[in-house]
Amino acid sequence: MAHKLPDFPWDALAPYGVIAKEHHAGIIDLSVGTPVDPTPDFIQRALREAANSPSYPVTVGTPELRVAITEWAKKNLGATGDFAVLPLIGSKEFVAWLPTLLTTKSVLYPDVAYPTYLVGALLAKAEATPVDIDATQWPTAELAWVNSPSNPTGRVHNEIEYRVAIDWARRTKGVVVSDECYLEFGTNKTPSSILQYTDGDNRNILAVHSLSKRSNLAGYRAAFVVGDPALIAQILEVRKHAGMMVPLPVQKAMIAALADSDHVSEQRNRYNARKAKLIPALTTAGFTIDFSDAGLYLWATRNEDCWESVAWLAQLGILATPGIFYGDKGSQHIRIAMTATDQQITDAASRITEAVKA
């Protein structure tokens, strides 16, 4: 199977990491979007208190976790009507395996996108087609991914875009899976969930959420899916055989994390302050910031090949991701992640400003 998957894109970035590391003041790595701010203490405590966990966890999750997710989805996603919930060990795992679990034969995914949508289609030996956001133009398929706020662009879907995607699901009987793992990180816009627009009819609609970024829990592997009860029952049936159960201590940590929104606001403010610091420096250096209305990335272009932008930043010791990793349409953009300390972001901004002055 390995030879059928695309080359692991980060390998191509490694030489620029070597250049960035040579900077006299050290590398500032803004490439991989891995959280660096601490997991809140109260969530760590919930995990520790559940450390005695001799039994297998059940795939469907504890009743307490299911209630916590259900209530959270009603309050934060505007979910109505009949819907089910299911905990997941990370949303990457779900994205990579969903087409296999559903024996899907055709998958649509955004033409600038998180690479795992394509990987999931390849693992399932499904036909994979990149598509524009406008679902009126989508061909028929068994499954379509929507991602708002988008990784890498930070673009946010509006109500009409969601409703058109829901219409596509109803017309074609295809499944729409909305990956909403950055939902709570609005910058210039307040992102919404697809579940707000189903008018209580959630058939063929799923929304995927993750606590990795929201609660700085990427190391715990904690996520969940909400939506069509029939589809979730189908996924659960396979998973009961295939495993991927969420460890009980992680389930307890999820319950604690979902009950609190203050730590999420704090994290959102941190990311937005970092963006506010970097944007003027990038603009001075000739970059235009596109979209970037939510999430933890800046999507920037200098209307040059993305590798030229990556190389320019690398000699300043700053590592960014070339947009080509996310599809051909990203070939003139770079993605800059806010997952570095405040000090590192301040330093990155001054390195860029100084370079422009020199």
Q: How far is the CB of 216 from ligand PLP (least distance, A)?
A: 11
Number of residues lying near ligand PLP (CB under 6 A): 14
Of 84, 87, 92, 322, the one binding ligand PLP by CB under 6 A: 92
Nearer to ligand PLP, 224 or 312 (CB): 224
Of 72, 114, 145, 220, the one binding ligand PLP by CB under 6 A: 114
By CB under 6 A, residue 185 contacts ligand PLP: no
Q: How far is the CB of 114 from ligand PLP (least distance, A)?
A: 4
Of 13, 79, 84, 95, the one binding ligand PLP by CB under 6 A: 95
String marking each residue 130-149 x if it binds ligand PLP according to CB under 6 A: -----------------x--
By CB under 6 A, residue 179 contacts ligand PLP: yes
Nearer to ligand PLP, 179 or 184 (CB): 179
Q: Are 349 and 280 in contact (CB under 8 A)?
A: yes
Nearer to ligand PLP, 181 or 248 (CB): 181
Written in H, E and C, the secondary structure of the chain is CHHHCCCCCHHHHHHHHHHHHCCCCCCEECCCCCCCCCCCHHHHHHHHHCCCCCCCCCCCCCHHHHHHHHHHHHHHHCCCCCCEEEEECCHHHHHHHHHHHCCCCEEEEECCCCCHHHHHHHHCCCEEEEECCCHHHCCCCCEEEEECCCCCCCCCCCHHHHHHHHHHHHHHCCEEEEECCCCCCECCCCCCCHHHHCCCCCCCEEEEEEHHHHCCCCCCCCEEEEECHHHHHHHHHHHHHHCCCCCHHHHHHHHHHHCCCHHHHHHHHHHHHHHHHHHHHHHHCCCEEECCCECCEEEEECCCCHHHHHHHHHCCCEECEEHHHHCHHHCCEEEEECCCCHHHHHHHHHHHHHHHHC
Nearer to ligand PLP, 37 or 304 (CB): 37
CA dist., res. 358 & res. 353, Å (int) = 9
Q: How far is the CB of 209 from ligand PLP (least distance, A)?
A: 8
Nearer to ligand PLP, 155 or 351 (CB): 155
By CB under 6 A, residue 106 contacts ligand PLP: no
By CB under 6 A, residue 278 contacts ligand PLP: no
CA dist., res. 47 & res. 53, Å (int) = 11
Of 39, 153, 198, 210, the one binding ligand PLP by CB under 6 A: 210
Q: How far is the CB of 153 from ligand PLP (least distance, A)?
A: 11
Q: How far is the CB of 245 from ligand PLP (least distance, A)?
A: 16
Residues 72-91 that bind ligand PLP (CB under 6 A): 90-91
Of 31, 39, 104, 151, the one binding ligand PLP by CB under 6 A: 151
Nearer to ligand PLP, 320 or 352 (CB): 320
By CB under 6 A, residue 35 contacts ligand PLP: no
At residue 218, φ and ψ (nearest 5 deg) are -60, -30
By CB under 6 A, residue 218 contacts ligand PLP: yes
By CB under 6 A, residue 223 contacts ligand PLP: yes
User: What b-and-e string marks burial along 228-267, b requiring 16 or more CB atoms within 10 Å of the CB?
Assistant: beebbeebeeebeeeebbbbbbbbbbbbbbbeeeebbeeb
Nearer to ligand PLP, 59 or 151 (CB): 151
By CB under 6 A, residue 212 contacts ligand PLP: yes
CA dist., res. 341 & res. 277, Å (int) = 12
By CB under 6 A, residue 115 contacts ligand PLP: no
Residues at the site binding ligand PLP, with contacts judged by CB under 6 A: 33, 90-92, 95, 114, 147, 151, 179, 181, 210, 212, 218, 223
